[in-house]
Amino acid sequence: MVIEVKNATKKIKGALILDRVDLTFESGVIYGLQGPNGSGKTMLMRLVSGLIRPTEGKVLIDGKELGRDFDFPPSMGLFIENPAFLPGYTGKRNLELLAELQGRVGNEEICKAIQDVGLDPEDRRKYRKYSLGMKQRLGIAAAIMEKPELLLLDEPTNALDEGGIEEICALIRRERDRGALVIVSCHDRELLENLADEIYTVAEGRVERRAQ
Ligand SMILES: Nc1ncnc2c1ncn2[C@@H]1O[C@H](COP(=O)(O)OP(=O)(O)OP(=O)(O)O)[C@@H](O)[C@H]1O
Ligand SMILES: [Mg+2]
């Protein structure tokens, strides 16, 4: 898969949020987004995911235009900010409900995804009783369970303990190795530089590939 962001600008109420972004992402690579708070990392992920439309420019996925040829990338796993899970259900039940929407995966893949993020598929606790890190892990499990071609992870390691960070980094590498296109943001510079194959710096809506 090839994603081309072509001269994309996003303005919200006159404010310039993304400024003439031009870049190409390809399968089998982990792209790291680096930049200060408010620089536009999450907005860039929203743009690529189809959650927002550019004011000018376009996003092409394998040559087809997002927002014209399809509303969302056809095979995408998304973890952005607080995922909306149902508090009264277990983690597994939440994933089952999401999986039913697409009808692509069943019990086996769901259990595997839960284990991959270090949770227990047999855990009977309701989502509302999950700790912050457990919620975060479940969100990542939801993003990967359907083995998407495009994986967008916005600060996936935020609330995680040391072991969790290692698990998630290993998981991200496995996703890349099976051929996914991964875009990940993270405020830990060292971690991101270790994990990502390519780094893009984001500053005041401008996105630039950093020389290796
Ligand atoms: N819903 C919104 N309406 C208007 N402006 C917004 C909205 N959401 C974000 N912004 C603005 O867009 C800019 C980029 O925000 P974004 O969330 O992409 O930053 P970020 O790089 O992800 O920051 P952080 O590191 O804090 O997550 C900021 O100036 C922010 O104020
Ligand atoms: Mg953000």
**pLDDT for position 212:** 73
Report which ligand 1 atom has the smallest distance to the Cα of 35. 21
Average pLDDT, the chain: 97
Question: How confident is residue 122, by pLDDT bands cut at 50, 70 and 90?
Answer: very high
H helices of the chain, where? 41-49, 91-102, 107-116, 132-144, 162-177, 189-195
Element (H, E) at 206: strand 206-209
Q: DSSP letters of 15-45? A: EEEEEEEEEEEETT-EEEEE--TTSSHHHHH
Using a 6 Å CB cutoff, which residues line ligand 1?
12, 17, 35, 37-43, 202
Q: What is 1-75+149-164+180-212's CATH superfamily?
A: P-loop containing nucleotide triphosphate hydrolases (3.40.50.300)
Cross-strand pairs, 70: 66
pLDDT tens string 142-195:
999 999 999 999 999 999 999 999 999 999 999 999 999 999 999 999 999 999
Residue (of 210, 152, 207, 199) closest to 6 by Cα position: 207
**pLDDT for position 81:** 83
Distance, CA of 167 to CA of 115 (rounded, Å): 10
Task: Tell me: pLDDT of 22 over 80.
Answer: yes
What distance in angstroms lies between residue 108's CA and the mean position of ligand 2's atoms?
32
- By most ligand atoms within 8 Å of CB, the mutation choice from 9, 10, 34, 43 for ligand 1 is 43
Task: Give me the residue spans of the domains in the chain.
Answer: 1-75+149-164+180-212, 83-148
